[in-house]
A and B are shown apart, each in its own frame.
Chain A
Amino acid sequence: MAVAEQAQPASRAVRARQRRVREEELLVWPDLVFVEFISAVLFLGLLAILSVLVDAILLDQANPAVTPNPSKAPWYFLNLQELLLHMHPALAGVIVPTVALIALGAIPYFDTSNDYQGEWLTSPRAWPNLVVGAVVGTVGTTLLIFYDASFHVRFYEWIVNPGEDRFLPGLSEDGQPIDNPDFNAWPESLNWLKSLRSLQTEVNWPTELEAIPLGSKVLRTDLLGLPAIDLDVNFPAMVVEQIIPVGAMVGLPLLLSAAAWKVGLAQTRRDHMILQFSGFIAVYVILTIIGTFFRGEGLELVPYTIFAHH
């Protein structure tokens, strides 16, 4: 009480503000509890209807001897399984998700300002950053996947071969390649640009580079009580499986941020966070969609649904 009397100097404005804040408050019972109750009932109803109408999938009993083609992880991991097709498995399966989760958790420690919290995207430039991040993430990921599936090769051949036979040499009905001497194929000198992997397979790398002996002194597994490992580095494979993918995953987002900063789109840390987070979500969604609906037999890039199993 003594404190309250002493606190007289609080200006009228401050007291008015305090009163206004009080007035802007609602009682949790009924206002919030009611909303919660209604949405719980609503969603229980919707889920019950869904569960009556659509059955959970159940295939044949597990059989370790029969590998289905394709074999897929649960849908929320298909983004990682998609990455697996384009880079070293240790990167796709472990390092990328670990780094991504740590980066996600670190967001508040990077963007430390207190501004514009508690409202949907009210900071200046919030929406432009969201849209640019999402579009660049979507288009960029799609293009990279198309590149690795050699879509540009097919596109080129489609352009330079007018007329009926433009898709030849395709495969005849019994799966044999059709011999068509008039066909203008992708130039042989550019074979190394057919896909990411062709950089390794279509270039005459000196054989020394394919097995650079580093001996057992690099990975000191013996110190952990594990067998010693003689490390032979296959440089071309390393370029294709590690250096380029890491370069793309680290470099392209940095490039995006730098460009957005140059043109004044991303000025504050919150701007950069919105740009990057939106890009990340877009990449995540696109990889999941492609992994789920566009990877069929042999994980080829073709339309696919899980119900093909039935």
Chain B
Amino acid sequence: MATTEQPQGRSLGDRLYDGAFKNRLWKSIFRSGYPNTPRNQMLAVATNVFLHLHPTRIHRTHVKITHTFCLGGLSFFLFLGLTITGVLLMFYYVPSVERAYGDILALDTDVRFGKLMRNLHRWMAHGMVLTVLMHMMRVFYTGAYKPPREFNWVVGVVLLVLTLLLSFTGYLLPWDQLALWAITVGTNMVGSAPLLGEPNRFVLVGGFQVGQAALIRFYTLHVIGLPLLAAIFMTVHFWRIRRDGGLARPL
């Protein structure tokens, strides 16, 4: 460095950099400068509400893909993707037995990108069931449920149930033969419980058979009740990971 000549004023790059990242607008949004120094990188994570889900530092082994296979993160990613595509689907879908099937057909044929949205939503939903199950297996086989993470494992089991219920309630909405009969078979299983099974089935389906009442119940649970619950439990899940000292590692 010392051997080079003195710079002739500030270079274009420096001026662009300052212009982009050292102005009032940027600072008003991000507080820290562009994350190109360790200090700014830590500040970027610590001062941003979304990135703040993370700690600022993390152990080497946990960044390795083969430690988590990103499965928990992927489950969350799919949850976000499902929320976005789901909101778009809601613009077109009316949960009534007269309209539902036609609305789905219209999504598939008339609505621009409607089919893509529906396909994405469907594949992400199947994918999420798979990633959550595999995430559970990775947590088990890395022994990451051991103290002090026992309770977060339990929160995970609740998330697994919520994921299955989200998928199950969504299954009815297209109101085709597959939907109607899958939900009929599924809810009949609930009805087979001793004593309280039949009353429970009746409440779930809103009648003796799967019809309009069931459709509106499943729809409401699918678009607001269960996602809200899942979001709450995910918040707890992530919070607990931080509180428990990050991911498990050998003592």
Contact = CB atoms under 8 A, between A and B. Distances in A.
A84 B189 contact: yes
A51 B146 contact: no
Interface string B103-147: 011001000000110111111101101000000010011111111
Nearest to A285: B133
Interface in B3-20: none
Contacts of A84: 189
B35 A68 contact: no
A94 B196 CA distance: 11
B57 A26 contact: yes
Nearest to A112: B147
B57 A25 contact: yes
Interface in B51-77: 51, 54-63, 65-67, 70, 73-74, 77
A3 interface: no
A36 B80 CA distance: 14
Given A74-B171, A119-B143, A57 B189 contact: no
Interface in A81-128: 81, 84, 88-90, 92-95, 101, 104-105, 107-109, 111-123
Nearest to A109: B150
Question: Interface size bucket, A side?
Answer: 35 or more
Best-buried of B97, B104, B178, B190 by chain A (most CB within 10 Å):
B178
Contacts of B193: 90, 93-95
Contacts of B175: 61-62
A270 interface: yes
A61 B185 contact: no
A293 to B, nearest CB: 15
Contact of B154 (A21, A72, A105, A115): A105
B70 A39 contact: yes
A118 B35 contact: no
Contact of B77 (A43, A118, A270): A43
Contacts of A182: none
B108 A108 contact: no
Contacts of B143: 115-119, 123, 270
Nearest to B248: A118
Interface of A: 21, 24-33, 35-36, 39-40, 43-44, 47-48, 50-52, 54-64, 66-68, 71-77, 80-81, 84, 88-90, 92-95, 101, 104-105, 107-109, 111-123, 130, 219, 221, 224, 226, 270, 273-274, 277, 281, 306, 309
Interface of B: 35, 38, 41-42, 44-45, 51, 54-63, 65-67, 70, 73-74, 77, 81, 97, 101, 104-105, 108, 115-116, 118-124, 126-127, 129, 137, 140-147, 149-150, 153-154, 157, 161, 164, 167-168, 171, 174-182, 184-186, 188-195, 197, 209-211, 247-251
Given A71-B182, A117-B251, 5 more contacts: A51-B119, A59-B176, A72-B181, A90-B197, A108-B153
